[in-house]
Structure 1
Amino acid sequence: MTWPRYDGPGDLAAIEAVPLADRGLPESTYELLRQAGSRFADRPALTLLPSGEAWEHPETWTYGDLLARVHRIANVLTDLGVTRRDAVGLLAPNSGDVFAATLAAQAVGIAAPVNPGLAPHQVRELLETSGARLVIAADPGLDVGRPVLSLAELGSRADAADPVRLHAEPPRGTDFAGYFHTGGSTGTPKIAVHTQAGEVGMAWTLAASTGDDDLVLLAALPLFHVNALLVTGLPPLFKGQHVVWAGPLGYRDPALYPVFWRIVERYRIGAMSAVPTVYAVLAQVPLDADISSLTFPIVGAAPLPAAVRRQWRERTGVDLVEGYGLTEGTCASARGFPGVLRPGTVGQRMPYQEVKAVRIDGDGRTDLPPGETGVLVIRGPNVFPGYLRDGKPDPAGKVVDGWLDTGDLGSVDAEGFVRLAGRAKDLIIRGGHNIDPATIEEALLAHPAVSGAAAIGRPDRHSGEVPVVYVTLHAPTPSSELLAWAAARVPERAAVPKDVHIVPEIPLTAVGKQYKPALRQDTLRRVAEAEVAALGLDAEVTVELDRDEPVVVVHATPSATLESTLDSYAFRWRHTGRSPDS
């Protein structure tokens, strides 16, 4: 396959001069894998680190090994009755067999990975909605309302299965490939449907952007996260690239960070993908190895604080490359370029995708000119067919005339560079993990003294955002009691609120809906005031709006300490250059 030049923003037009349909792409992820197994049979495909602690004792699979393992697992699934329209639940930490099982499920049916950290009732609901015929899980005794095949049993069955031939009919481009759950806007995450053609097209686009065939990638995000499969899983199959998988826990393994630079040096890692909190931690790890191979560190899934960008650059000498996308867009819709800095943007729209800002009101949608802020919408072959409802994808309320409503506010300039300006949707993003505020609100509203609850994200140095909740009360109740109540009832540990703010009333819109932007401004002020007070400064803090985006204003003379402190957050801020009394 001949790859187009894709090194900078000026290459976009030349790439799109050739229609995607003329690129000769494989019809399915299985066909992509089959071609890779044939073309690159003896090349290393996966190096599997047992953990951060045991990183020097890995296992390596060639592309031939990977194809054989996928065939074995696919044939086990077929023997167990999995057919093209059946989903296979995957509920386990990362491993070689979990990655192979994901590809195998897509080869004979539909892969449905689930976050093991969700509450048990959410796991059961997701599996029920997906219609999973069976679940592959690390725990053989798991009760999820579906037959469970443990990883150990899968391994023994696969060892005895046919490593050469796939027993099922190969999938077509229009067949469903994956069911990936999102944060959603209700109590249970929604399931986004991916097609085979959508995933292959996205994988090709990402492969075109990741450089030479000998590039080595690090994979450390969990496989229930769409990024893990679509950025570090499928694209390397196009070029026969080597991927190092950083153990079952990946970035969640504390033992990974002290040896991270040595892993980069050992395997000559060239590209990686992570959320801002990962880079924030790594920027504090002393550099004890040659990391000159690392040229493409990709960051996304949450706002990037200016301080993290700066500290990473100071530590490594390499700029972070921002990206933007969402599960409903099959993963990525904008990307930056190494060596091409566009501060304030999350990159240029990707080939074959249209991205624009629109105004949505009672008259419908109106396209906005370049640079003007509105709701971002996306059109292209990457747009999903809808959320899974009653066994079918339903685009209602999310895709209109082929345009995907991202729920994000932003602008697009004349070159296609995207600038984000906040979220129209209310999801709380903690370290790249989506938290539905409704789960927190429902838990607090169950308290007999609570009359109203509104959960939002509070800016946080480490996690980007952490959940806090504003409540109104029927009867006086200490916030400590409400925090304990929430901790015992919120279904996910990451969603337990850090603070409960008792207020006289929750702001409402003209039609009686909660107006959370006002609460976000309040929590911005609280965070900045706390930091200013900790620095011992006598300064007033206010929040102003700039084109509907909140900006923290500190009425104080500038100082290096103040700048370094507030720059560690992702929010915008400025100082007036004078004290409150002047």
Structure 2
Amino acid sequence: MTATALWPTYDHPDDLPAIEAVPLDSRGLPASTYHLLVRAADLWPDRTALTVLPDAARWREPVRRTYSNLIADVHRAANALHAAGIRRDDAVALMSPNCDELVTATLAAQVTGIAAPINPGLSGEHIAELLRRSGARVLVAAGADLDPSAWATASALAESGAIDTLLVLRPTGAGPAVPLPSISGARVAYLTDAAADYAAAHFTGAPPAAHDLATLFHTGGTTGAPKLAAHTHANQVANAWMIGANSLLDDDSTIFAALPLFHVNALIVTLLAPMLRGQNVVWAGPLGYRDAALYGELWRIVEHYRLAAMSAVPTVYAVLAQCPVDADISSLRACLVGASILPAAVRTGFESRTGARLLEGYGLTEATCASARSFTTTVRPGAVGQRLPYQQIKAVRIDEDGRWTDVPAGDVGILVISGPTVFAGYVIGRDVSGPVLDGLGKVVDGWLDTGDLGRVDSDGFVHLTGRAKDLIIRGGHNIDPAVIEDALLTHDDVTGAAAVGRPDIHAGEVPVAYVTLVPGTVVSEDKLLAWATEQVPETAAAPKSVTVLDALPVTDVGKPYKLALRADAARRVAESALASVTGIDHIDAIVEDGSVVVTVAAAAGAAVGPALDRYPLVWRLEATA
């Protein structure tokens, strides 16, 4: 397979038919993420694979590893896991902020068994449930010097008997390690020490096959703890190729990574895709984009490392739009953005400040990562991108009896996706063969119900119009509204609760809640807010407001109708944003085709746009009578 066949020209929407004229199976892709790493080490042994920064302040003091270094470290760690009893259908949990060793541990877990990354910010109860569902008895976790909170959680899990082995990670570039405490009933060791004496030249077990599970990613569900979505090696390699096949970048391009490795974007977009091209990835410190110091240094980091691409959520670009460009950032060619709606004002502010284009994309964990991309060569206003090669996206109407009917191109419906990136299913249990998977109604005849409302035009460009599902996405972080609702319902005076997302300048959206009370009782909204804040299992899910209603809205058949609450939340945001604007006659929010639209009646010349364009909402100006 020639380099041209593996990497076709792909910088314009019109390239899609020619790309798909060659079957994906004919492109010679590696069988697994392990074979992907082996290929990179064989082709580019001396190229830098990873440049990991200790933190934003010490960006000039990175730890570097070549592809040959990386595969040797992965082999040692994988062989250590294999010796510890991990086999192909066993999960290895990973709970740590980003660091040099976490990359090794994640790849090694996929070589030996199944990687199960966990967000350290989840509640201890949810983390324990994820461990139970995955069946993981080995946990790779941050030590006290890397993340004290994660270490406390990991230690408690080991002490409770939830895990048998605790392998500890250290900060990037750390000095000598301190002795680890012993925990009764569990083996505790630093990962580097545990792996030091194992073979570096090869993996002693059987390598994974394309159909084997590679990763279990937790993703927001509709009730209880997050669900575990299973990816096969074939899912991940195919999606990595689709992302890597971007003619805007070449093999010498350097990629910036600052999203956490428990998120699919970090693994697929900034680890596996660059590895297919032999590219160097500069990893930010453990806090990533949450490190306030990073924003004051980022343009100098771009100049120093000649960064060509980065991937982030809209809130990151909103902050960067306010940062003076104090360095040469001409190398920056691809600024990828996704996870939530990109406000027009953020795009305008960032692009005018930097001269770099923001390229929207669309995807979800159940479709591995990315399903649509944008182009610098073609601007399609209002679209999040064109479908990626070998994936199909269409809009359907789902009737009450569950029957799917295709809607015409350009019409709004539920977006559904098919192709090689559709996940293997959710983990619903375990048997002697490993995880038991079920699509839980999300996959019908190979098509994945995304839960998103949108339309697909005749060129395959996707236009999002709303979310049929109830997830609240705060700065790219999925929040299950049931977590907030359950917390409020524990209050003796609350009879009903519903949580929705409210448009927010900084986070895309933040959670707000609406409740009904026992007749005759009076509870202040401030007290209800304090109650919810104390009861929810994670800080990010704490609602920003609680509003008391006489009744929660329902549909004609009595089902909860959250779109009405989203409309109310959007109206309140618009009223606050326009409070100081003269000439406003009336503000409302309506539901059109399943989407919320803010309507503003105002006198000619009223400065509505500057106030509302800062928010990720759809608004329409109407003339006053």
**Which bracket does the TM-score occupy, shorter chain normalised?**
over 0.9
1:277 to 295, 308, 315: 315
Aligned ranges for residues 465-484 of structure 1 at < 5 Å? 465-474=509-518, 475-484=521-530
SS in 2 for 1:533: coil
Say if 1:558 and 1:575, in contact at 8 Å, map to a contact too.
no
Determine the C-alpha separation between the residues in 2 that align with 1:252 and 1:536. 37
Say if 1:532 and 1:539, in contact at 8 Å, map to a contact too.
no
Determine the C-alpha separation between the residues in 2 that align with 1:491 and 1:537. 44
Answering whether residue 107 of structure 2 is matched by residue 89 of structure 1, we say no
1:181 to 193, 218, 226: 218
Alignment match, 1:395: 439
Aligned ranges for residues 233-248 of structure 1 at < 5 Å? 233-248=271-286
Determine the C-alpha separation between the residues in 2 that align with 1:539 and 1:511. 35
Determine the C-alpha separation between the residues in 2 that align with 1:551 and 1:151. 47
Alignment match, 1:464: 508
Determine the C-alpha separation between the residues in 2 that align with 1:254 and 1:384. 35
Further displaced range: 486-495 or 205-214: 205-214
Alignment match, 2:360: 322
Determine the C-alpha separation between the residues in 1 that align with 2:526 and 2:582. 27
Q: Per-residue deviation at 1:362?
A: 3.6
Alignment match, 1:350: 388
Q: Per-residue deviation at 1:550?
A: 2.2
Say if 2:513 and 2:547, in contact at 8 Å, map to a contact too.
yes
1:435 to 460, 472, 479: 479
SS in 2 for 1:232: helix
Give a deviation string over 1:402-444, Cα, whole Å, max 9, x none: 0000000001011100000100000000001100000000000
TM-score by length of 2: 0.91
Change (3 A) 1:59 1:418: same
Determine the C-alpha separation between the residues in 1 that align with 2:138 and 2:582. 59
Answering whether residue 403 of structure 2 is matched by residue 386 of structure 1, we say no
Further displaced range: 506-515 or 370-379: 506-515
Say if 2:86 and 2:113, in contact at 8 Å, map to a contact too.
yes
Answering whether residue 77 of structure 2 is matched by residue 60 of structure 1, we say no
Tell me the number of residue pairs that the alignment of Structure 1 and Structure 2 aligns. 579
1:372 to 400, 404, 411: 411
SS in 2 for 1:248: coil
Q: Per-residue deviation at 1:525?
A: 1.0
Determine the C-alpha separation between the residues in 2 that align with 1:343 and 1:406. 22
Say if 2:383 and 2:464, in contact at 8 Å, map to a contact too.
yes
Change (3 A) 1:26 1:550: same
Q: Per-residue deviation at 1:561?
A: 4.0
Say if 2:482 and 2:499, in contact at 8 Å, map to a contact too.
yes
Alignment match, 2:185: none
Alignment match, 1:260: 298
Alignment match, 1:164: 201
Determine the C-alpha separation between the residues in 2 that align with 1:126 and 1:537. 53
Say if 2:417 and 2:447, in contact at 8 Å, map to a contact too.
yes
> Cα RMSD over matched residues?
1.3
1:78 to 76, 82, 89: 82
1:150 to 163, 168, 171: 168
2:494 to 432, 436, 450: 450
Q: Per-residue deviation at 1:544?
A: 3.2
Determine the C-alpha separation between the residues in 1 that align with 2:212 and 2:283. 28
List runs of 5+ in structure 2 lacking aligned partners: 144-150, 171-189, 430-434
Alignment match, 1:303: 341
Q: Per-residue deviation at 1:533?
A: 1.4
Alignment match, 1:29: 33
Say if 1:83 and 1:108, in contact at 8 Å, map to a contact too.
yes
Say if 1:112 and 1:179, in contact at 8 Å, map to a contact too.
yes
Say if 1:82 and 1:133, in contact at 8 Å, map to a contact too.
no
Q: Per-residue deviation at 1:21?
A: 0.8
Determine the C-alpha separation between the residues in 1 that align with 2:307 and 2:338. 19
Alignment match, 2:565: 519
Counterpart residue type for residue 215 of structure 2: G
Determine the C-alpha separation between the residues in 1 that align with 2:243 and 2:568. 39
Q: Per-residue deviation at 1:468?
A: 0.3
Q: Per-residue deviation at 1:538?
A: 4.4
Change (3 A) 1:78 1:535: same
Answering whether residue 334 of structure 2 is matched by residue 288 of structure 1, we say no
Counterpart residue type for residue 348 of structure 1: Q
Give a deviation string over 1:366-424, Cα, whole Å, max 9, x none: 11111000000000010011101112111131100000000000010111000001000
Determine the C-alpha separation between the residues in 1 that align with 2:139 and 2:415. 36
Once the two structures are aligned, what percentage of the paired residues are identical? 56
Q: Per-residue deviation at 1:551?
A: 1.5
Alignment match, 2:175: none
Say if 1:76 and 1:157, in contact at 8 Å, map to a contact too.
yes
Counterpart residue type for residue 110 of structure 1: I
Counterpart residue type for residue 398 of structure 2: I
Give a deviation string over 1:163-215, Cα, whole Å, max 9, x none: 21211110001100000010111121000000011111111111112621011
Determine the C-alpha separation between the residues in 2 that align with 1:477 and 1:566. 33
Further displaced range: 50-59 or 437-446: 50-59
SS in 2 for 1:168: coil
Say if 2:567 and 2:591, in contact at 8 Å, map to a contact too.
no
Q: Per-residue deviation at 1:24?
A: 1.0
Alignment match, 1:508: 554
SS in 2 for 1:102: helix
Give a deviation string over 1:310-365, Cα, whole Å, max 9, x none: 00111111220000000000001100012321110000000001100001104611
SS in 1 for 2:94: strand
Counterpart residue type for residue 317 of structure 1: G
SS in 2 for 1:88: strand
Aligned ranges for residues 480-491 of structure 1 at < 5 Å? 480-491=526-537
SS in 2 for 1:382: coil
Say if 1:84 and 1:171, in contact at 8 Å, map to a contact too.
yes
Further displaced range: 460-469 or 537-546: 537-546
SS in 1 for 2:239: helix
Give a deviation string over 1:67-94, Cα, whole Å, max 9, x none: 1111111111111111111000000010
Change (3 A) 1:346 1:431: same
SS in 2 for 1:459: strand
Q: Per-residue deviation at 1:287?
A: 0.4
Say if 1:88 and 1:136, in contact at 8 Å, map to a contact too.
yes
Alignment match, 2:138: 134
Give a deviation string over 1:467-516, Cα, whole Å, max 9, x none: 00000001210111111111111001000000000111000123322100
Answering whether residue 458 of structure 2 is matched by residue 414 of structure 1, we say yes
TM-score by length of 1: 0.98
Change (3 A) 1:435 1:558: farther
Aligned ranges for residues 176-215 of structure 1 at < 5 Å? 176-209=213-246, 211-215=249-253
Alignment match, 1:554: 600
Alignment match, 1:40: 44
Q: Per-residue deviation at 1:553?
A: 1.3
Determine the C-alpha separation between the residues in 1 that align with 2:607 and 2:353. 20
Alignment match, 1:217: 255
Counterpart residue type for residue 61 of structure 1: R
Alignment match, 2:147: none
List runs of 5+ in structure 1 lacking aligned partners: none
Determine the C-alpha separation between the residues in 2 that align with 1:329 and 1:131. 23
Determine the C-alpha separation between the residues in 2 that align with 1:352 and 1:189. 29
